[in-house]
Amino acid sequence: MASDIISLKDVTFSYKGSKRRALDGITLNVKQGECVAILGPTGAGKSTLACVMNGTAPRFMDGSLAGDVTVDGMVPAKVGTAQMASRVGLVFGDPDTQLFGMTVEEDVAFGPANLGLGYEGIMERVSKSIGDMRLSGLERRAPHRLSGGQKQATAIAGVYAMLPKIMVLDEPTSMLDPEGKARVFGIVRMLKEQLGVTVVLIEQEVDDILNLADRVFVMRSGKFVLSGTPREVFGRVEELRQAGVRVPQIVEFGTLVGATETPFSIEEAMLAVGSEPTTVGDATKAPSRAAHEVHKVHDAGNAQDDAVVQALNVEFTYPGGARALDGVNLAVGRGDFVAIVGQNGAGKTTLTRHFNGLLRPSSGDIRVLGRSAQGVPTIELCRHVGYVFQNPDEQLFCTSVQEELKFGPTNIGADPHVTSQRVEEILGDIGLTRYREVWPKYLTKGERQRLALASVVAMDPDVLIVDEPTTGLDWVESLQILDYLERLRNERKKTIIIITHDMNIVSLYARRVVVMAKGRVVGDGTAREIFSQPDLMELACLRRPPIADLSQALWGEVLLTPAEAAARLLAAKSQAAGVCSE
């Protein structure tokens, strides 16, 4: 086709040393100016596809490529890096390893400098790119002083400065908080609508893709299993589930209530159930019924003997002078599943690091299992409070899975026999028994995350604090980790505290939600109660899941899952039917 800027026909690719086909017969045609989204679980081959498009596979990635690949009229494998780089830009999820310069300016200049442009040419491109990506004012800033969203924006600016016609973005928002995600999606929209760039977006955030992409492809095991417009693809709920992709909540709701036309937005859903779509904006802003029933679940101001961990009037200031915690009172009871939510910088991580002694309060007290943690070193507290960090690679130290699980218990002096038994059990629980001798680096990210969590569970602490359990994971992997946490809570009576930005996870698993903003606890209740307070949500810069907005608009009440909403609707209908039949 004449206007196809990317054309792949029957493309297969295998990495060197692997018999498995990473790409297995991919045929894809993208028109100039289109925005194409590619979804799929980890390991589907999405990143490999991205590398094939910009020529780094097979040239850089060591493997064998078969099939026809034409990008902007050229065959990437046969053409040099400079040629491809000025046509196809590639941005991926890790904000740190894609930035090279000592300052934002230097980094954006990297691409043009590689192309051999002179000083004037480079600076022209740099200013244009920085301006377009709204990074003006940050030119001389060092990368480690930028927020995640700013870093990704810089990475995109750096690639854009090569003036490519096509931009491939490989899970650009996976490491970002909601603010960063919004920023990146805004940039994608701008690239598509204002700058006329063809965009290939690989993502897990299905809700945002709906309104952004012209076409959607779902990948699994190196093949496309679904393709079409967003409406066409997201309507096929069962196939999406099988492919391991999360179904947008509104769509799921529509399927459950048997809507004739799959709804994609709240307005469409309301129409589908026969309601007048009120101005959705008003409906979502009005406080709902549940708001009146909100009450503080726990009286956190005094020491509670039955609390597993407790913060009493905790204040904390970083050595540099930044005030991170401003009088926090929080008590967590045994067997609770608490989600701490809030913007980056609200103090969530700072607070949880007090519970195992990594940080000590400037004033106030931290109590663990009824006793003050003051003076008790982390190596003691870790027997009771386990802490799982966000990045699994920063807490896996050993050269085999088994060793890793033994590490914690051995250090705290657990009985070796008991430890061996526990390790066997845990290996089974997380499904890594056959991998016991494998070097953790060789596992997938999801497996490493499970391992990191398990290595802390192996110490058998009473409380498990997990910082961002689902970052960078696909939906199935996210559910696996959270199911494991819920099993620990339910079967082993552990107390679970998670820090997360994912409101879907919060709706499904958290029994209690603690909202933090600017170093204080500003909200504390069930997910339902919290989502019913729009002022609170706004203060903490949180966005509730679409189903909550929908149920609010329909019935003035916040519901958490599509199933709940469907049940509510059917109940209302049968009630109405019952009334009519009398």
Partner 1 sequence: MIVEYESKSSAVHRLDPRVKFAWMLAAIVISVMWTHPVYLIALALAVVGFGLLAGFPWSKIRGVLSFMIIVTAIITLVQGATYVPKTVTLDEPARVLFHLIPGWIPGVGPACPIRVGGFLYGIGMALKVVTVLVVVAIFGFTTSPSEIVQIIARVPFMPYQVGFVMSTAWKFVPVVQMQMRTLMDAHRSKGVDFEQGTFAEKIRKTSGIVLPLFANSLSMADTMALAMESRAFGSSRKFTFIRPYRMEPFDWVVLIGSLGAMVASIVLLALFRLGAL
Partner 2 sequence: MSYALALGYLVLMWFLGSILSKQYPVEHRVAWDTRTIARVTILAAVAGAGAMIKIPGPATTIALDAAAGYFAASFFGWPVGATVAAIGCFLANALGGFASWLPMVPIYLAAMALTVTIAVFVAKKVNIVVAIIVGTIVNTITCLGPWALMIGTPLMIALLPSQIIGSAVNALVGLSVAEALKAAQNRKRPESID
Which residues contribute to the site for partner 2 (CB under 8 A)? 18, 20, 60, 399-400, 434-435, 437-439, 441-443
* Closest to 241 in 3D by CA, of 225, 263, 229, 262: 225
Q: How far apart are CA 462 and CA 308, in angstroms?
A: 8
Structure tokens at 279: 């101005």
Q: Does 397 bind partner 1 (CB under 8 A)?
A: yes
Give the pair of three-digit tokens for residue 360. 């000590």
Residue 110 binds to partner 1 (criterion: CB under 8 A): yes
Q: Which of 539, 85, 504 is nearest to 342 (CA)?
A: 539
Q: Which residues contact 204 (CB under 8 A, 6 or more apart)?
A: 39, 171, 174, 246, 474, 475
CA 559 to chain CA centroid, nearest Å: 22
3-state DSSP assignment of residue 550: helix
Q: Give least dist CB 359 to partner 1, A.
A: 10
Which residue, 469 or 525, has its beta carbon nearer to partner 1?
469
Minimum Å gap between C-beta 442 and partner 2 is 5
The one-letter code for the residue type at 266 is I
Q: How many residues does the chain have?
A: 582
Task: Write the CA distances from 211 to 97, 203, 229, 230, integer angstroms.
Answer: 30, 13, 11, 8
434 vs 441 by CB, closer to partner 1: 441
Who contacts 292 (Cβ-Cβ below 8 Å, separation ≥6)? none
Candidate residues 17, 116, 258, 578; the one interacting with partner 1 per rule CB under 8 A: 116
By three-state DSSP, how is residue 154 classified?
A: helix
What are 442's two structure tokens?
Answer: 């060789």
Please provide residue 39's backbone torsions phi and psi, each rounded to the nearest 5 degrees. -115, 165
Q: Report the candidate in 206, 180, 239 with the shortest Cα–Cα distance to residue 38.
A: 206
One character per residue 133-162, x = contact with partner 1 (rule: CB under 8 A): ---------xxx----------x--xx--x
Tokens of 215: 């076409």
For partner 2, give the closer residue by CB, 389 or 439: 439
Least separation in angstroms between CB 474 and partner 2? 17
| Cα separation, 482 vs 212, whole angstroms | 29
Measured from the CB atom, the residue of 82 and 418 that comes closer to partner 2 is 82
Measured from the CB atom, the residue of 32 and 400 that comes closer to partner 2 is 400
Contact between 45 and partner 1 by CB under 8 A: the answer reads no
Strand pairing report for 463-467 and 495-499: parallel
Task: Report in angstroms how near the CB of residue 89 gets to partner 2 at its nearest.
Answer: 17
Lookup: tokens for 238? 């069962």
The window from 119-127, 506-514, 540-548, 563-571 that contacts partner 1 (CB under 8 A) reads 119-127
Minimum distance of partner 1 from residue 99's CB (angstroms): 7
Among partner 2, partner 1, none, the one that 110 touches (CB under a kind-dependent 5 to 8 A) is partner 1
Interacting partner of 20 out of partner 2, partner 1, none (Cβ under 5 to 8 A depending on kind): partner 2
Q: Please report, as residue ranges, which positions from 512 to 551 form the binding site for partner 1 (by CB under 8 A).
A: none
Question: Residues near 12 by Cβ (< 8 Å), separated by ≥ 6?
Answer: 21, 23, 24, 25, 26, 65, 66, 67, 222
* Chosen from partner 1, partner 2, none, partner binding at 196 (C-beta under 5 to 8 Å by type): none
CB of 100 to partner 1, least distance (A): 5
Contact partner at residue 417 from partner 1, partner 2, none, CB < 5 to 8 Å by partner kind:
none
Q: How far is the CB of 439 from partner 2 (least distance, A)?
A: 4
Task: Determine which residue in the list 411, 421, 444, 574 makes contact with partner 1, applying CB under 8 A.
Answer: 411
Of residues 318 and 442, the one with the C-beta less far from partner 2: 442
- With binding defined as CB under 8 A, does residue 123 bind partner 1? yes
Question: Which partner in partner 1, partner 2, none is near 377 (CB below 5 to 8 A by kind)?
Answer: partner 1
- Decide if residue 109 touches partner 1 (CB under 8 A): yes
Written as one letter, the residue type at 87 is R
Which residue number, 382 or 521, has a Cβ lying nearer to partner 1?
Answer: 382
For the bound state, the minimum distance from the C-beta of residue 573 to partner 1, rounded and expressed in Å, comes to 52
- CA 162 to mean position of chain CA atoms: 29
Return the one option of partner 2, partner 1, none that residue 438 interacts with (CB less than 5 to 8 A, by type): partner 2
- How much is the CA Rg of the chain, to the nearest whole Å? 25
Binding mask 355-374 for partner 1 (x = CB under 8 A): -x-x----------------
Show the beta-strand stretches assigned E in 356-494: 363-368, 371-372, 385-388, 463-467
Partner whose footprint covers residue 535, from partner 2, partner 1, none (CB < 5 to 8 Å by kind): none
**Torsion, Cα of 559, 561, 567, 573 (10° steps):** 60
Give the one entry of partner 1, partner 2, none that residue 435 binds, where binding means its C-beta sits below a cut-off of 5 to 8 angstroms depending on kind: partner 2
Q: Which of 62, 96, 293, 535 binds partner 1 (CB under 8 A)?
A: 96
Which residue in the set 77, 115, 539, 541 belongs to the binding site for partner 1 (CB under 8 A)?
A: 115
Which residues, 458 to 517, sit near partner 1 by CB under 8 A?
459
Helix/strand number for the chain, H first, E second = 25, 19
Size of interface with partner 1, in residues (CB under 8 A): 73
**Sole residue written with tokens 């289109």:** 34
Strands 166-170 and 88-92: parallel
DSSP letter string over 425-488?
HHHHHTT-GGGTTS-GGGS-HHHHHHHHHHHHHTT--SEEEEE-TTTT--HHHHHHHHHHHHHH
With contacts defined by CB under 8 A, name the span among 111-119, 227-235, 284-292, 536-544 that binds partner 1. Answer: 111-119
CB of 407 to partner 1, least distance (A): 6
> 40 or 111: whose CB is closer to partner 1?
111
Can you tell me which of 227, 317, 360, 407 binds partner 1, judged by CB under 8 A?
407
